[in-house]
Amino acid sequence: MSRRMGAPARTPRTPVLIAIAVLAVALLTLIPPSTATYDPWAWIVWGRESWHGDLVTATGPSWKPLPVAIVTLAAPFGSIAPDVWIVVGRAGALAAPVIAFALARRYGGVVAGLAASIPLALQPWWFRHGWLVNSEGLLVALVLGAVLAEVSGRRRWALAAALGAAMLRPEAWPFLGLWVALLAWRSGWRSRLGLAALLATIPVAWLVPEKIGSGDWWRAATRAQNPDPGAAALSDRPALTVLEDFVEMVPLALWLGLAAALALLALAQTRRRGAGGPSPGRADAAAAGPAPPAAPGSAAPEPVGSAVAASEEPAAVGLVGRLVGVLRAVATPPGPRAADPVAGAALTAALGVAWLVLVAAMTEAGYSGNARYLIPAVALILVAAAIAIGLLWQRLPRPAGAALVAVLAALTLVPAIVDLPDEADRVLSEARVMEDLPDAIAAAGGVEALLRCGAPFTNRFFVPQIAWELDLHAREVGFRPTTTGAVVLFRPWRYSRWSSEPDARGVRGLRTVARTRWWRIEAVCRPGEELPR
């Protein structure tokens, strides 16, 4: 594949070296204060319970097979198990922009790669979810990785990545299911058995542990239909709220770059029509595959992206034709695909829009529709827009292209410079709260003394963290203390966002038994049990 098509040759060692570098950086992120947020801490607790054969999932967030499997394998290492998930989650968040760069560069050159990776990496919401190791960073890496592997002819890797995505979010199930159905339709019976086994792992991994842990096959789905305050599902028009969140999450620079690219391509097509351009059918021929080599003495190939501009058919017809060609290719034997930039942009845009529509439909049906569920759709649209920007760069005179890149870079960097410091302060504060918890427990007399004293309660967003430190099931840690009985309250009192919970105004006889920089532990002990003052 030519360098001008945006796919420089790489040695087989390059992906391995990139993976090692990403993992090394992820390990280095453990040096500053580090922690996970609520959902990942629940998965960490479930991983420990799974290892000990004592899984309880009756409370907490929805079940996620892949994170729990990773932490289960790390559980024998004891206290470092949370760090294992933190490193894996952050490695995914670091790898996703790298994969976005590779995918966009394949179709639109280096400028396209930079336009896809840098805006994604600099979004405050990307930093927040990546640092607090929600699953979205790893999910985007797997989704983009599946697309890149498939168009590069590495179908087994593509299927593995798609299966990993399906073990993180249910929105990935329809995509994997349709793809497997296409492959099975064109495959022999042995391949069909393998594909059926691959699909069978999904219900087993999602439903069986929930049945074991809670007694309810569908607890994860039930939990997802009980949204937290502020979720899109609670708005008057859930689908419209999801769309508004999506538009806000895509950086302004990408919207402007995409609009400029589409406007220029449309203008070029109009001029070609007025000048009596080539006959129809160019787009369909491009969708069928690369053209044969030119005969000696024939004209040189046209620049990248010129086929759409040159076609006398409407642009949408050529676009659909190329997308159909890509979809046909995914049902054929694996092999490298020609780097058709329009087809690449169409494929990633179609996947992004489909993911967005699916989230909107699920939100209308009562699922929470949190903005972070849209991150894969945003990442796919970013790649599609970046490819368009790369094509625009190739067609513009260099002074105009440099001015465009400068404007887009400013629109990307300025919001990041303004917003990222505050976001970093928030996530580091949350990490300091968790790092301080063992000291607070030790100051109160230790785990055993606290458990002898009374039932533990804390802010609802710290239930799995307290359960981990006290070696309890999450359901054994409450967040609504009663007015009678022995209780131990873990209050993150220096963090104003959470300091009002747990509400213990009705609990009599409370006294402070430990106070550290970030925590205050209060207790009313059982008769005969005392904690140090």
Give the pair of three-digit tokens for residue 8: 């420089």
Bridge-based pairing state of the strands 487-491 and 455-458: parallel
Q: What is the pLDDT of residues 76-112, one digit of tens each?
A: 998 899 999 999 999 999 999 999 999 999 999 999 9
Distance (Å, whole) CA 234 – CA 227: 8
Are 159 and 43 within one domain?
yes
Distance (Å, whole) CA 192 – CA 202: 16
Q: What is the pLDDT of residues 171-190, one digit of tens each?
A: 999 999 999 998 988 888 88
For the chain, give the percent of residues with pLDDT over 70.
Answer: 83
Bridge-based pairing state of the strands 511-515 and 520-524: antiparallel
Q: What is the pLDDT of residues 408-464, one digit of tens each?
A: 889 889 988 999 999 999 899 889 999 999 999 999 999 999 999 999 999 888 999
Q: Report CA-CA distances (Å) from 358 to 63, 144, 382.
A: 20, 18, 18
Residue 217 lies in a domain: yes
Are 86 and 129 within one domain?
yes
Residue 275: pLDDT band (50, 70, 90) is low
511, β-bridge pairs: 523
Distance (Å, whole) CA 307 – CA 286: 8
Return the closest-CA partner of residue 122 out of 14, 251, 231, 209: 251
Are 24 and 69 within one domain?
yes
Are 56 and 167 within one domain?
yes
Contacts by residues 196-199 (CB-CB < 8 Å, ≥ 24 positions apart): 198/159, 198/163
Q: What is the mean pLDDT of the chain?
A: 84
* Angle separating helix axes 463-470 and 38-51, nearest 10 degrees: 30
pLDDT, position 336: 61
Residue 123 lies in a domain: yes
Return the closest-CA partner of residue 134 out of 18, 49, 260, 40: 40
pLDDT value at 393 more than 80 = yes
Distance (Å, whole) CA 458 – CA 466: 8
Query: Which residue range forms the structural domain that includes residue 218?
Result: 3-236+397-418
Give the pair of three-digit tokens for residue 477: 């840690």
Distance (Å, whole) CA 236 – CA 463: 31
Are 463 and 406 within one domain?
no
Return the closest-CA partner of residue 340 out of 301, 300, 398: 301
456, β-bridge pairs: 488
SS3 call for 504: coil
Number of domains, the chain: 2
pLDDT, position 383: 95
Residue 357 lies in a domain: no
Residue 30: pLDDT band (50, 70, 90) is very high
Alpha helices, DSSP H only, in 29-123?
38-51, 65-74, 81-121
Are 25 and 125 within one domain?
yes
Q: Which residues are CB-contacts of 172 (< 8 A; sequence separation ≥ 6)?
A: 139, 143, 162, 165, 166, 376
Residue 490 lies in a domain: yes
Contacts by residues 25-31 (CB-CB < 8 Å, ≥ 24 positions apart): 25/91, 25/94, 26/87, 26/88, 26/90, 26/91, 26/94, 27/87, 29/86, 29/87, 29/90, 29/131, 30/83, 30/86, 30/87
Mean pLDDT of 188-215: 93
Residue 128: pLDDT band (50, 70, 90) is very high
Are 217 and 119 within one domain?
yes
pLDDT, position 494: 63
CA 200 to chain centre: 23
Are 106 and 184 within one domain?
yes
Are 403 and 447 within one domain?
no
Residue 222, amino acid: T
Residue 349 lies in a domain: no
515, β-bridge pairs: 520
pLDDT value at 117 more than 90 = yes
CA 356 to chain centre: 13
